[in-house]
Amino acid sequence: MEVLQAPTVTPERRKELTLFEKQSGIRFRRIDLLNLAFCHRSFANETTNAIGNNEKLEFLGDSVLGLVVAEYLFTELHDKSEGDLAKIKSFVVSEVSLADIARDLHIDDYILIGKGEEHSGGRNKRALLADAMEAVIGAYFLDSGFKPAKRFILKYLIPEINKVLQNKHHKDYKTLLQEYVQKEYKTYPKYHLIKKTGPDHAKVFWMEVTVLEKTYGPGQGRNKKEAEQKAARLAYNDLDITDE
């Protein structure tokens, strides 16, 4: 089944991919599909040969992942409401969760990225890692079918589900705050950049967030998103919102 033109799998590259298989506990019949799952658009764009990238596999993997997690939650957590199940699922399949799993699998060592993306730290970008994780799931589904893909997903996602149930998971405070404020007050938190300090290579951003007429912060971080998260956490905790 020809899906997309994958990068050539050299003998050296095959050794690398075989190592990934051993680390992750899966085995591909078509190693070229696994190689394609690791091929970022930036690499494909810089290659003279016409090759594909991992974006379609990512699209497929996202759907397979969502189905597997939804089925598991529906089957195992009988006492939870639909809203609770949706909230648990959103945490478990989040960019943060998938990027953490990708790092545990050392996916950052196997990604093929372009020189520009490499220089900008792309190999460690959370979004890129999460996308590659979904692409691997999509590739494995195509290669081996639903049942093996399901086993692979649950092996790494059940621990993430348990973290949520034990309230030990990473919380996206910005999203949680926005959902609460929108639901309770029919409005949105408003973020403001207060200042930024430090040299260009080590900037520190200071952000405040306003909910209704009260301002929280500032939160500080290496970028605006991180500073916004910290400001949102201050507001979230002050409002005594529970996400149980």
| Active-site amino acid positions | 62, 134
41 touches 53 (CB < 8 A): yes
According to the annotation, is 131 in a ligand binding site?
Answer: yes
Please give the C-alpha separations between residue 196 and each of 120, 121, 192, 228, in angstroms, as whole numbers. Answer: 21, 22, 12, 13
According to the annotation, is 12 in a ligand binding site?
Answer: no
Q: What are phi and psi of 204, to 5 degrees?
A: -125, 125
* Strand bridging mode 204-211 / 190-197: antiparallel
Rounded distance between C-alpha atoms, residue 5 and residue 236, angstroms: 47
157 touches 175 (CB < 8 A): no
In DSSP terms, 216 is beta-bridged to 209
Please, is 196 exposed, middle or buried when counting C-beta atoms within 10 Å of its C-beta (0-12, 13-18, 19+)? middle
According to the annotation, is 58 in a ligand binding site?
Answer: yes
Torsion on CA atoms 135, 143, 93, 207, rounded to nearest 10: -10
Q: Which residues are annotated as a binding site?
A: 58, 131, 134
Q: Which residues are annotated as a binding site for Mg(2+)?
A: 58, 131, 134
